[in-house]
């Protein structure tokens, strides 16, 4: 079969799944809250039961990350996400303001197309299916080709559980014949109402360019500032563990340490005890060439790989217990490739004289590649913490936590999510952690509170056109001209 035939097959599959999802949604849009919650609870339980197996499958299929960490992400996406939305009302009257006499009524969006990545495939599929079905939407998954099998298996398990508990067939689907034309056909299909995009920048841009409503994410070039007031032992432990978690495949993972100068040496020593290896100048140059192509694009062969694997690729030796590679840097921007987002176990390192200079360095990193996404700060000085909170152009600022697990809502109070909005500054429609609340609309039933002003009830004087007398005179003049001309 030719490549062209595969594209046609993918396009046809997209059309078929979208049509079937729309028919299923017409039934599901009338489901009761009890029916919705019963189906979602069953899907959550089924996904949780399969979470370890799916984590192993995702690791084996993509070659990214750590199977045990993908298992943990699957638990988060099935159990924690469901627990965060299970009490959310998504059917009927969901709010009432007796003083303003307004009733808020939930209204589902329709068919959602969900683009899912290769870095967090099974967990993202779990998460998106749960929030869509909870909002009474249908969903069709368009997975990354490198994670097609594990993504389909995740969707199949959840669809099977949903249908066994009353959901109509076709409500949950996943493409198996993956191609760019097929994914574009799905996004552009007349029955698709919204696109939920998690993936690389080109695919997110494609989602926004369809003319349909779209929730997309931006790249996460997350700096972590460590202040002189920080608990350095905790900061070192968290930074290394977070960067090493699933080999840095979550977009909220720390990408560069910005260390306050007086504590920089102590922090570096503590991080070395946790398994950080600080590369030499020559080794850093080798990593620059390895991780990025000359045009600045990422070398996908290095994504989600261990420190030992990367060092071997680059051609230098590291201690056996190394968990991450740390590169000392002095510049930010195109002239320094390692100041970019690195979806692997390489961490940048900067030293600044005080928190004000550290603040500026963090902003440089964010503006270069992570606008609107996330930032981590380790400090106990509340004035410094609040200054970072008020000044940074990001929408998730984690305090004394792991970037990887804090931004997604596992170790903090933000909404549990695998899709993190970057706001207007990052090219997204929202800076929220996307959840079920974003996948249904609200109708407002509003009663009159006061009578209209008296002036609004008056007929008023006609303006902008001729009066009846002016029209009559114009007609008479025209007739007189005709009569005079004829004689």
Tokens 């997975």 sit at which residue?
A: 143
Cα–chain center distance at 92: 27
Active site residue 251: yes
SS3 assignment, position 4: helix
**Which CA distances in Å does 389 have to 97, 395, 477?**
32, 9, 76
Phi, psi dihedral angles at 194 (to 5 degrees): -155, 150
Tokens 């920080």 sit at which residue?
A: 230
- From the number of C-beta atoms within 10 Å of its C-beta (0-12, 13-18, 19+), residue 372 rates as buried
Nearest 5 degrees, angle CA 136-CA 142-CA 145? 155
4 closest CA partner among 181, 148, 188, 185: 181
User: Is 130:44 a contact under the CB 8 Å cutoff?
Assistant: yes
Residues forming beta bridges with residue 103, ordered by sequence position:
96, 445
| DSSP letter (8 states) at residue 437 | G
236 closest CA partner among 250, 221, 222, 257: 257
Q: Which of 174, 251, 359, 362 does the annotation list as catalytic?
A: 251
User: Is 139:86 a contact under the CB 8 Å cutoff?
Assistant: no
User: Is 172:162 a contact under the CB 8 Å cutoff?
Assistant: yes
d(CA 373, CA 483): 80
Strands in 280-345 per DSSP E:
324-328
SS3 assignment, position 394: strand
Q: Cα dihedral sign for 288, 292, 293, 297?
A: negative
d(CA 80, CA 58): 20
Cα–chain center distance at 273: 34
User: Is 28:168 a contact under the CB 8 Å cutoff?
Assistant: yes
Catalytic residues: 251
């Amino acid at each position: 079969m030719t490549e062209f035939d595969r594209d046609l097959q993918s396009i046809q599959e997209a059309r078929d799944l979208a049509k079937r999802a729309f028919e299923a949604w017409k039934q599901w849009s009338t489901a009761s809250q009890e029916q919705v919650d019963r189906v979602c609870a069953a899907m959550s339980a089924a996904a949780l039961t399969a979470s370890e197996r799916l984590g192993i499958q995702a690791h084996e299929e993509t070659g990214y990350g750590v199977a045990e960490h993908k298992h943990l992400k699957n638990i988060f996406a099935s159990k924690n996400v469901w627990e965060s939305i299970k009490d959310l009302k998504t059917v009927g009257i969901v709010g009432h303001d007796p003083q303003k006499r307004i009733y808020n009524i939930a209204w589902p969006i329709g068919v959602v197309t969900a683009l899912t990545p290769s870095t967090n495939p099974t967990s993202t599929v779990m998460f998106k299916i749960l929030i869509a079905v909870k909002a009474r939407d249908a969903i069709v998954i368009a997975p990354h080709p490198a994670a097609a099998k594990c993504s389909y298996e995740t969707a199949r398990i959840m669809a099977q559980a949903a249908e066994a508990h009353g959901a109509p067939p076709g409500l949950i689907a996943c493409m198996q014949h993956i191609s760019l034309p097929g994914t574009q056909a799905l996004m552009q299909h007349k029955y698709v109402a919204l696109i939920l995009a998690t993936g690389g920048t080109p695919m997110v841009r494609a989602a926004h360019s369809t003319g349909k409503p779209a929730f997309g994410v931006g790249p996460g070039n997350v700096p972590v500032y460590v202040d002189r007031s920080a608990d350095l032992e905790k900061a070192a432990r968290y930074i290394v563990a977070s960067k090493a978690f699933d080999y840095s495949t979550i977009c909220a993972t720390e990408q560069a340490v910005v260390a306050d100068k007086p504590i920089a040496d102590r922090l570096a020593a503590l991080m070395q005890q946790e398994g950080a290896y600080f590369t030499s100048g020559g080794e850093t140059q080798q990593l620059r060439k390895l991780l990025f192509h000359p045009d600045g694009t990422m070398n996908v062969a290095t994504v989600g790989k261990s420190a030992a694997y990367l060092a071997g690729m680059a051609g230098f030796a590291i201690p056996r217990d190394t968990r991450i590679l740390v590169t000392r840097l002095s510049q930010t921007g195109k002239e320094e490739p390692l100041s970019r987002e690195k979806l692997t176990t390489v961490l940048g390192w900067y030293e600044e004289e005080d928190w004000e200079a550290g603040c500026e360095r963090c902003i440089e990193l964010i503006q270069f590649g992570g606008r609107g996404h996330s930032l981590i700060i380790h400090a106990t000085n509340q004035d410094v913490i609040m200054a970072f909170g008020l000044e940074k152009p990001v929408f998730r600022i984690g305090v004394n936590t792991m970037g990887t697990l804090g931004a997604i809502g596992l170790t903090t109070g933000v909404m549990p999510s695998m899709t993190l909005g970057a706001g207007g500054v990052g090219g997204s429609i929202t800076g929220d952690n996307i959840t079920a609340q974003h996948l249904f609309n609200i109708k407002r039933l509003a009663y009159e509170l006061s009578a209209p002003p008296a002036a609004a009830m008056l007929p008023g004087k006609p303006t902008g056109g001729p009066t009846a007398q002016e029209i009559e005179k114009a007609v008479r003049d025209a007739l007189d001209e005709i009569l005079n001309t004829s004689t």
